[in-house]
């Protein structure tokens, strides 16, 4: 089993930068501003706190992982919606609930690969 890999500069940011990083990730998810613009503002925020800035390549890697994960979550939402339509209150029993949770887990694992 592979480990988590080397920690990026974003992973190594101190706790005082957590709000700034979360802000930047939320901005990336909104998809209303360019990645370069968000990085510029993030680095301004970090510099104001006397912290190391983030390189463009490190931020791009994080952005790419975030975009991939967002797409996977969107795919899962559509898959789950298709399954949920078939699970009416009349048809759902305890065994069906267990099976539904198992299917969710299985789909998550398959999509993660």
Q: Tell whether 46 and 74 lie within a shared domain.
A: no
Say yes or no: 48 and 71 in one domain: no
Structure token pair of residue 50: 């006397």
CA distances for 86 relative to 19, 94, 96, 101, angstroms: 41, 15, 11, 14
15 DSSP 8-state letter: G
Instruction: Judge whether 62 lies within some domain.
Output: no
The pTM of this model reads 0.64
| Any domain includes 1 | no
The reply to whether 75 and 110 lie within a common domain is yes
Instruction: Note whether 71 and 107 are same-domain residues.
Output: yes
Total domains present in the chain: 2
Q: What is the pLDDT along the chain (113 residues), one digit of tens a residue?
A: 455 678 788 887 889 999 999 999 999 989 899 999 999 999 999 999 999 999 999 999 999 988 888 888 888 788 777 766 666 666 666 567 777 777 888 888 777 76
Domain ranges, residue 80: 67-113
């Amino acid at each position: 089993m592979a480990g988590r890999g080397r920690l990026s500069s974003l992973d190594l940011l101190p706790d005082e930068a957590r709000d700034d990083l979360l802000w930047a990730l939320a901005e990336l998810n909104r998809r209303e501003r360019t990645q370069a613009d968000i990085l510029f503002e993030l680095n301004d925020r970090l510099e104001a706190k006397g912290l190391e800035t983030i390189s463009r390549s490190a931020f791009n890697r994080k952005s790419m992982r975030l975009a991939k994960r967002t797409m996977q979550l969107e795919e899962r939402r559509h898959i789950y919606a298709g399954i949920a339509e078939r699970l009416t209150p009349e048809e759902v029993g305890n065994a069906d609930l267990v099976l539904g949770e198992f299917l969710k887990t299985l789909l998550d694992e398959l999509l993660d690969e």
